[in-house]
Structure 1
Amino acid sequence: MRIQSRAWRKGLTGLTAALLAVGVVTLPVGDTDAYADVQIKTHTVPGADGKNYSVTNHVVSRNATKAADGKRKEWLVVWAGDENIADTAVKDVKNLPGSVGNPVDKVKNALPGPDFLAVIDATKGSETYGKVVNTATVGPLVENEPHHMQYVWHKGDTIFAGALFLGATYAFDVTKLPNLELKGVSLPTQTLGGSVPDAYWTLSDGTSYGTYMGGPVAPGPYRYDDGSVHVGNGFAGSPGEVVRFDPNGKVLSQSPAATPQGDDPKLCDNLPRLGKPTCANPHGIQAREDLNTLITSDYAEPRNIILDPVKQPSPYLRRPTVRTWDISDRNHPKLRAVSYLPDGPRADPADPLHSESRAVMETTVTNLPGHKGAFAQTMQGGAVFYTPDITAPAPRWTQVFDDGQALKAIDPANNDARGSSSNGGWIQTSPDDKLLYRAVQGRQKGALGPDDPGSTGGVYTLDISKIVNAGTDFQCTIDTVEKAENGGGQDCPTLAGAAPINPGQPGAGPHWGAYDNFTEGADGRYEETKQPSRLAVSNYFVARSGLDGDHKVNMVDLAKDGKVSVDETFKDEVTGETGINFNRKSWPHGPFGNAKPHSELFVVADEDLK
């Protein structure tokens, strides 16, 4: 239905009265002409608590009409959260005592706003290329720090999207894009064994595994369906778990990531302390169904990294571990091995936070039947590791690349060859196992000392064909600083392409990304491809960690040989600049100000996809 008088105007009236009651009088000033005619449609489902949960589409009629020009559309779906005062006030807190800087904008962005999926036209050559066609807001829960969805979307998949601070997982139907529907929502009361949902991996039957990085919702013992009991230190603490969802977001099972005996007490801290120290805080997750194997990477005890400007009290709250699981029984994953990544040639006992093994944010599996390997990357360590066989009882992990070599290529004029604290996030193998895609935010100024200039972030690709084809006989190892800075030779991955995002600005590159697994067929409908020709990346991590970003989403062209370059035609409809800027006064759903885009997926409506 067509709405001439926006629903959010009524909402803001009530909000105005509430703010006046507490003495806050500054409201966001929206660009009322930017989205003058918006089609609004809400889809509601009941939650397990008996309350209604919804997604409300706000489709821009002008953009949707242009999108109906006969050419079928490809969409970029971006999971984003409203910026709030906890995000904007950190710099002021660091500079106290003193006055609040730029108070008008601070108060504007302090207003509560909804989290949403932005649906952006990703059809190259389209008149509306790069324009926001819909913002699908979720309710009634707001300000919950949207984080990850699954890594790749395939026809028929539900989109699973997690909210860090709440502990909720949303399940979306995207068959009728640009409109979405809500299929279901999982609330914290349904996953009492874990909290802080992070990433998802969808299976061929439409179900999904999700990592819940944080500890049980309530501190103390939690008994799993298999009879095991694990003691945790509470919400956003340790240990975490793996959850399996059906296509509608219903919880099918919870599986503990912790071992009965705990992990190495010298390498794994917990706050508050646990009787059995654990590093079990699963973040990244991918699976090989043909090998009946799941792999997860432990990043950090989450609540201790979102207290900026207060820093985590121990480097050992960042994790050096990777876990492999037997998923022969899909509903009951069983932990097979806990592997500790090795330190490399840069490791300094006086600075363990920046040892190569620290903060294993992500892992990615190979895809072809003849390959059994997987890669892992470290955010603080700034290194890439490889194991040739994830089905082994105790996988052997070896450092095979250092981010320092890539950083030099990303911005030769500004970057040095130190990979430490590269703040790498996304890592993903290409569908044909020839390339490895990588996004790094870059090192923040002062990260390694008061004179550290930091480093520019960006996107790089590695040729991994030699090492994955070598099987268990690969020779690569990064065991000297020379190899770390210039490559290891032999069958080591080699740099194929590199492109800066925000060159000359330290720590301002992308955290996350997705590859475009679709291509247009001869009949105009889309089909999946094994050779993606572009990537999308988002420049945002978690503001409360002190590592924010400029809140832009960029498109990156990808050549067959791995060379990458920023797509200058993917421009913001408001500023006209390259990259879609989520810092804006107004959205189709109202004048809620800046938003934080964390993750993205390429998606095609069901009728347009073979």
Structure 2
Amino acid sequence: MSTPSTAPTRGRRLRRSALGAALVALGLSSLQTAPVQADDPGQPVDIATPAIQALNALVQGLFNSDIVGQTSKVLGGDGETYWLTNHLRSDLVPTTALQDLGLGEAIPNLGLGGGSAGGGVPDDGKRHEYLVVWAGDNNVLDRTGKQLTNLPDVVTPDLLGKGDQIGPDFFAVVDATKGSASYGKVVNTVTVGPLVENEPHHMQYIWHKGNNIFAGGLFTDVTYVLDTSKLPALELKHVNLPTDTLCGSVPDAYWVTKDGSAYGTYMGGPDVPGPCTYSDGTTRIGNGFAGSPGELVRLDENGKTVYEAPATPETAETEQRCDNIPQLAAATCANPHGIQAREDLDTLVTSDYNEPRNIILNPVQAPSSYLRRPTVRTWDISDQDHPKLKAVSFLPDGPRVGKVAHQEEPRAAMETTVTNLPSHKGAFAETMQGGAIYYAPDITAAKPQWREVFDLTTSNKQADPSRNPYGGGSNGGWLQTSLDDKYLYHAVAGRQPSGTDLGSPSYILKLDIQDLLAAGTDTTCNIDTIEETVNGGAESDCPAVTDILPAPGGPHWGALDNLAVGDDGYFHETKDVKRIAYSNYFVARTGLNGDHRVCLVDVGSDQKLTTDTSFKDETTGDTCIDFDRETWPHGDWGPAKPHSMLFVTADDDIK
């Protein structure tokens, strides 16, 4: 394997030459300003200086002309300005990386060269991979239902501040390059503004070369779209606001198609109660923001709304009980959460979790168990800009009797994942409260046939034999097939102890699904006896446990690392995944707060999972990154809540 050169790339040399020529042409080659230095070389570099602002204003097009210093701004559809601000660590980012951003020695006589302006470490000759984590400020509003009764009705300026007060949400850019001196360190935090209390939630499930990042804010009903091409810095491309998706709210997750556009699940109902007309001209009656029914939104590559598609048919959904608060004339379970697609099959799958207003946004009152949804929806995307609902499938009940109604197997269908290879047409779904994994062998069918193929009672028993293995309420989250379709990963946060119930363990589950997929549409696996919930499916094609990795702290989300360095020294996408990441946080107001850590896991040649103990917190020295820290590159804002993450690299470093 060749080693990348430590010399600047051709692209960097060209940018330096172009900059020098432009400075001469503009009469700026002798421009003098006072040196811009950080008092502490470990603090972020302040590049939002008058000199840089003037340079960006004059040198149009050489760098991103819409970036002032390290702040990128866009005008929202409401006429307001929205921004991202990078806070690069001067003690961790090499000079060559700063040069790509218009900093460092590439700008002569501006007092920005060398270590004094950042780039206090030499280029290590590595092309860097980053873990981009979407995290929320942890503050006084992060309380469960009982605690929310004493909170203020509105966020006023006196509540804004550091510590336990309300601060900015942000993207943490973590060096995920093994062997790097800054491995596991937060090299940049990218704060969003002016909105606070977004409740950062999901991005897309996996990043591919050239993709923008799509990131949702549950509470603010906003989708942020980010350019990753100049990592470790990020740039804001667009904000999709509530007024851009009038028939849906509470954006949850995204799937990016090969052309760079995306689909987004908007779990909540229309912005205002009453009738809402979708892009296809049809109308549904909704019960308002964060209510029902949700919708599927087609977004262009920059996040602008292309099409709003209704997630519920015009008739009521009555096969199983679907409550709505306030009640709707036509009951619906349409609150889409998980989303994945098979473009080669012209099919997209979404899974319904709950009516979010009553469980996430306002958990003060005890909601109905039947707000947790038992449904999975398939969509026709043969015309990608005009998705059409094809089928609504109610997941079948299983042999267990739930301790409460929402712990029956089909309830709270949070996540879905598709198979990847052309020879396979199936998909999986998991139920957060039901504690079950379902499978449909052919999602292109007019009515896909879903069946339970694994119960978390089985893995709970193996993870901790000392506790009641009951799978209901095990709080399963992230569900993802391996890219070669051999394995299925599942993050399980565990059931919290209550009274005499000791709760259930938290872990990362890995299942072997090769026999199940090989059976095609002739699969026989079906969990239909109590014995099978405890010991695994009796049929030969049922998934088998490959490994269970203890993951204390409550893992909810995860991501596959689909990037690997090739013999040419560049990153390439791979189906042979050797590493995954997971985060311990769901939504604080539900009581599933987690311990706010982000961990990396190595996948061995024997397919066993091992926590990467070299991925350490730079403050505590403990394994995994702890987001409950007092100081960040953007200031002393205190603990944060990491929800989702992606493995990403800069455009110049991937082929």
Partner of 1:391: 444
Query: 2:409 matched to 1:345?
Result: no
Are the equivalent residues in 2 in contact too, given 1:39–1:58 (CA < 8 A)?
Answer: no
Partner of 1:359: 412
1:462 pairs, out of 506, 511, 515, with: 511
Give the partner amino acid of 2:87: H
Give runs of aligned pairs for residues 100-139 of structure 1, distance below 5 A. 109-139=163-193
Partner of 1:82: 137
TM-score by length of 2: 0.83
Give the partner amino acid of 2:487: L
- Structure 2 vs 1, CA of residues 146 and 307 (structure 1 numbering), >3 Å: closer, same or farther? closer
Deviation at 1:415, TM superposition (A): 4.1
Partner of 1:35: 43
In 2, the alpha carbon distance for the partners of 1:191 and 1:344 equals 37
Partner of 1:269: 323
Deviation at 1:321, TM superposition (A): 0.2
Q: Give a deviation string over 1:87-116, Cα, whole Å, max 9, x none.
A: 15767569x9xxxxxxxx999544221111
In 2, the alpha carbon distance for the partners of 1:163 and 1:470 equals 40
RMSD (Å), alpha carbons: 2.1
Give runs of aligned pairs for residues 254-333 of structure 1, distance below 5 A. 254-264=308-318, 266-306=320-360, 310=364, 312-333=366-387
Give the partner amino acid of 1:484: T
Partner of 1:241: 295
Are the equivalent residues in 2 in contact too, given 1:213–1:302 (CA < 8 A)?
Answer: yes
Give the partner amino acid of 1:128: S
Are the equivalent residues in 1 in contact too, given 2:254–2:264 (CA < 8 A)?
Answer: yes
Deviation at 1:273, TM superposition (A): 0.3
Q: Secondary structure at the match of 2:142?
A: helix
- Structure 2 vs 1, CA of residues 56 and 108 (structure 1 numbering), >3 Å: closer, same or farther? closer
Query: 2:534 matched to 1:534?
Result: no
In 2, the alpha carbon distance for the partners of 1:309 and 1:194 equals 20
In 1, the alpha carbon distance for the partners of 2:272 and 2:445 equals 35
Q: Secondary structure at the match of 1:268?
A: coil
In 2, the alpha carbon distance for the partners of 1:118 and 1:587 equals 9
Are the equivalent residues in 2 in contact too, given 1:382–1:420 (CA < 8 A)?
Answer: yes
Give the partner amino acid of 1:249: G
Q: Give a deviation string over 1:195-232, Cα, whole Å, max 9, x none.
A: 00000000001100000000000010001121210000
1:425 pairs, out of 461, 474, 477, with: 477
In 2, the alpha carbon distance for the partners of 1:106 and 1:45 equals 23
Q: Secondary structure at the match of 1:62?
A: coil
2:427 pairs, out of 374, 378, 381, with: 374
Give the partner amino acid of 2:645: E
Q: Secondary structure at the match of 2:290?
A: coil
TM-score by length of 1: 0.89
In 2, the alpha carbon distance for the partners of 1:562 and 1:422 equals 24
In 2, the alpha carbon distance for the partners of 1:416 and 1:597 equals 30
Query: 2:616 matched to 1:566?
Result: no
In 1, the alpha carbon distance for the partners of 2:617 and 2:145 equals 27
Are the equivalent residues in 2 in contact too, given 1:496–1:561 (CA < 8 A)?
Answer: no
Query: 2:530 matched to 1:501?
Result: no
Q: Give a deviation string over 1:478-514, Cα, whole Å, max 9, x none.
A: 1112111111141001001111112xxxxx3200000
- Structure 2 vs 1, CA of residues 406 and 333 (structure 1 numbering), >3 Å: closer, same or farther? same
1:593 pairs, out of 629, 638, 647, with: 638
Are the equivalent residues in 1 in contact too, given 2:144–2:591 (CA < 8 A)?
Answer: no
- Return 5+ residue gaps in structure 1 as ranges: 7-31, 97-104, 503-507
Partner of 1:48: 77
Query: 2:93 matched to 1:64?
Result: yes
Are the equivalent residues in 2 in contact too, given 1:337–1:394 (CA < 8 A)?
Answer: yes
In 1, the alpha carbon distance for the partners of 2:302 and 2:601 equals 32
Are the equivalent residues in 1 in contact too, given 2:145–2:590 (CA < 8 A)?
Answer: no
In 2, the alpha carbon distance for the partners of 1:36 and 1:160 equals 26
2:489 pairs, out of 421, 428, 437, with: 437
Are the equivalent residues in 1 in contact too, given 2:183–2:615 (CA < 8 A)?
Answer: yes
In 2, the alpha carbon distance for the partners of 1:89 and 1:473 equals 46
In 2, the alpha carbon distance for the partners of 1:598 and 1:175 equals 23
Are the equivalent residues in 2 in contact too, given 1:283–1:296 (CA < 8 A)?
Answer: yes
In 2, the alpha carbon distance for the partners of 1:173 and 1:546 equals 33
Q: Secondary structure at the match of 1:306?
A: helix
- Structure 2 vs 1, CA of residues 375 and 67 (structure 1 numbering), >3 Å: closer, same or farther? farther
Deviation at 1:563, TM superposition (A): 1.3
Give the structure with higher Rg (CA): 2
Are the equivalent residues in 2 in contact too, given 1:39–1:59 (CA < 8 A)?
Answer: no
- Structure 2 vs 1, CA of residues 398 and 62 (structure 1 numbering), >3 Å: closer, same or farther? same
Give runs of aligned pairs for residues 161-176 of structure 1, distance below 5 A. 161-176=215-230
Larger CA deviation: 525-534 vs 415-424: 415-424
Q: Secondary structure at the match of 1:406?
A: helix
Matched residue count? 566
Deviation at 1:263, TM superposition (A): 0.8
In 1, the alpha carbon distance for the partners of 2:206 and 2:164 equals 33
In 2, the alpha carbon distance for the partners of 1:3 and 1:316 equals 59
In 1, the alpha carbon distance for the partners of 2:491 and 2:532 equals 21
In 1, the alpha carbon distance for the partners of 2:286 and 2:138 equals 31
Partner of 2:108: none
Query: 2:637 matched to 1:608?
Result: no
Are the equivalent residues in 2 in contact too, given 1:121–1:129 (CA < 8 A)?
Answer: yes
Partner of 1:520: 565
Are the equivalent residues in 2 in contact too, given 1:410–1:460 (CA < 8 A)?
Answer: no
Q: Give a deviation string over 1:354-411, Cα, whole Å, max 9, x none.
A: 1010000000000100100000000000100000000101110000001122223334
Give runs of aligned pairs for residues 117-266 of structure 1, distance below 5 A. 117-264=171-318, 266=320
Query: 2:602 matched to 1:557?
Result: yes
In 2, the alpha carbon distance for the partners of 1:52 and 1:329 equals 34
Q: Give a deviation string over 1:445-497, Cα, whole Å, max 9, x none.
A: 12xxx210012211110000111111000111111121111111410010011
2:528 pairs, out of 452, 467, 479, with: 479
- Return 5+ residue gaps in structure 2 as ranges: 1-32, 49-69, 95-120, 151-158
Q: Give a deviation string over 1:144-195, Cα, whole Å, max 9, x none.
A: 1010000000000010000000111011000110011111110000100000
